[in-house]
A and B are shown apart, each in its own frame.
Chain A
Amino acid sequence: MPALQLQAARKEFTAGDQTVVALDDVDLHVDDGEFLVLMGPSGSGKTTLLTLAGALATPTSGSVLLAGDELSGLGDAAAARVRRERIGFVFQSVNLVPFLTARENLLAVRTLGGGRADRAAKERADQLLDELDLADRAGNLPGELSGGQRQRVAIGRALMNDPDLLLVDEPTSALDSVLGRQVVELLREEVDRRGVAAVMVTHDERVVDLGDRVVEMVDGRIRD
């Protein structure tokens, strides 16, 4: 069973009296342990696909399955639970909580939704920070970290809940080419180590080779 499967997934937006088709009956699957790279020009539907896969929005029609579980039609609370427990996000602009330390940013995933940062959570956060070579920066606020370190903290946060699916949005956009490649290599290692499925949206062709498969989107469709 694929970790992620989109079946004729369609997303329309209304702009004034016009209907814009952002995603046009897309079929896609990503297997466990597969690192899928999603490319395409601006406005091609990559971000919309990511929002549907991440239970951040629901399709106008079609279905989105996470390890066989239908995501379309989930209510706000159920979608939040799926995002909290089964999906990890790495955002384009990192988006760490600025007043939490690196370690607390990881633990925040556990405290959302009424949970507690118990001993097991703290041990996992420390383990992840250690793996990401951030153990000595655990007590630093994001403002005290370099761009690469912040991106690594964001990766740790995404992995904190041991997700079924990792969604990564333009991870190299704020980094130089060397640092950008290091970050994507790190992502690749984590995907391999954990056997988690990952979808990475990027414009950066220098890191495309690190993916298992490259899919290109144009005008809301996947190019054959």
Chain B
Amino acid sequence: MSIALRELLRRPGRFAPVVVAMSLLVVLLVVLGGFLDGLSLSQTGVVRAHEGRLLVVAADADLALDRSRLPDEARAAVAEVDGVADVGRLSQVTTTARPDGGELVDVVLVGHDLGLDAVPAPVGPGTAHVDERLGAIAGAPADAPPAVGPQDACCEAVGSVLSDVSAGAPSVWVGHDTWLELAASIDPTGAPTTQVLVVEPAAGSDLGALADDVRAALAGVVEVDVATADEVVAADEVVAQQSGTFQGIIGVTFLVTLLVVALFFVLLTIERVKLYAVLKAIGGRSPDLLAGLAAQAVVIALVALAAGGLLSAGLVALVPPDLPVVVVPGRLAILAGATVATAVVGSLLTLRRILRVDPAAAIG
């Protein structure tokens, strides 16, 4: 075991301040990452539920589903295209729901035709699949009718859907014809119409070529964009702004982490000038000393990740269900790797001071 690691074992108290500071920063990073992913996933759940399919959106909507309007004849035209196994309508509107015995809450009412992995096909008029969190958020029984819209008009809950197919608010999924009726009652002055078409490609279809064919088939009907779910998510301005904001905050947090680690190790180096001079005098090299500091930084980061991870898990468990915090393993892995790398870089900012340690200072 190296000299540096023995110091960590024998003098843990010396490193406690930086471990505590880094643990708290890890908590901040995990929670920020959780909000970043939670907001992004909760905003885009309806779209992401259609991965593997093509979404046909009016060209003037810039891939914003709720701004898109398609004429009724578009569906039939798309259904004729070679390589299209099925085509359905998809529309959404933000409204309110008051589950029996509960409070008024915002919901997204989604109308669809095709079944999904995450949402079964509509059962029939007046029925809905309801976000699993809706009852908890409204303070109502989980199986209470959602009572959607200004007239509490809909619906009988026939099943639940996972909360990750929401779109900024809990979702209520109904058949598209039911959606058209409800949308008219929600906005009596409007004329609800299909927003988006969902294309189920035939097995083995090339999505790029199919998108071109769909676009061509609608050339005389309406100008459209045909995109995958990922492309629609990437074009979502709200999500992009939220992601940019959170990533900026996460970046600043990493900068603070870097400065905390660097400051700690610079102070430690100043305190140890005499010891480092002795180690150099008996044959140690600057790279040996730097490697020792880097090893200490790695261990400190790993301990902070473990402690911060546990604290974060407890904190996330306390977050109310209406706050969108989602801890994604991939995000955790990135944060962990970046935290270790930041700690190592911070420790290596002592380079100049280590190089300046004069071994001759050990004598006299």
Q: Is B151 an interface residue (CB 8 A)?
A: no
Taking CB atoms, residues of chain A closer than 8 Å to B284 are 80, 84, 112-113
| B3 interfacial by beta-carbon distance below 8 Å | yes
Closest to B359 in A: A56
CB < 8 Å: which of A57, A97, A112 contacts B283?
Answer: A112
Taking CB as reference atom, which chain A residue is nearest B14?
A99
Asked if B363 and A113 make an inter-chain contact with CB atoms under 8 angstroms apart, the answer reads no
Alpha-carbon distance A151/B363, docked complex (angstroms): 15
Chain B residues whose C-beta falls within 8 Å of the C-beta of A114 in the assembled complex? 288
For chain A, residues 38 to 97, give those with C-beta under 8 angstroms from any C-beta of chain B.
47, 50-51, 54, 56-57, 76-77, 80-81, 83-85, 89, 91-92, 95, 97
Residues of B within 8 A of A76 (CB): 285-286
Q: Is the CB of A92 within 8 A of B363?
A: yes
A85 touches B11 (CB 8 A): no
Chain B hits for A134, CB < 8 A: none
Q: Which of B284, B358, B360, B364 has the most CB of A within 10 A?
A: B364
What class of interface size applies to chain B in its complex with A? Answer: 20 to 34
Q: Is the CB of A57 within 8 A of B362?
A: no
The reply to whether B3 and A95 contact each other, CB–CB distance below 8 Å, is no
Asked whether any CB of chain A lies closer than 8 Å to the CB of B2, the reply is: yes
Q: Is B112 engaged at the interface, CB distance under 8 Å to the other chain?
A: no
Contact of A108 among B3, B286, B359 (CB under 8 A): B3
Given contacts A99-B7, A99-B11, A108-B3, contact A91 B362 (CB under 8 A): yes
Docked Cα-Cα span, A54 to B361, in Å, equals: 12
Contacts of A47 in B (CB 8 A): 363-364
Does chain A have a CB within 8 A of B6? yes
In the complex, whether A100 has a CB less than 8 A from a CB of chain B is yes
A76–B280 Cα gap in the complex (Å)?
10
Q: Please name the residue on chain B nearest to A79 by beta carbon.
A: B359
* B118 at the A interface (CB under 8 A): no
Identity of the chain A residue whose Cβ is nearest the Cβ of B11 in the assembled complex: A99
Which residues on the B side are within 8 Å of A109 (C-beta)?
282-283
Q: Quick check: B275 and A111 within 8 Å, CB to CB?
A: no
Given the interface contacts A83-B359, A114-B288, does A56 sit within 8 Å of B6 by beta carbon?
no
What CA separation (Å) do A51 and B11 show in the bound complex? 32
Q: Once bound together, how far apart are the Cα atoms of A76 and B362, in whole Å?
A: 16
With both beta carbons as reference points, the residue of chain B lying nearest to A117 in the complex is identified as B1
- Where the two chains meet, the residues of B that have a C-beta atom closer than 8 Å to any C-beta of A are 2-3, 6-7, 10-11, 274-275, 278-286, 288, 358-360, 362-364
Q: Which 3 A/B pairs are nearest by Cβ-Cβ distance?
A: A84-B283, A47-B364, A56-B360
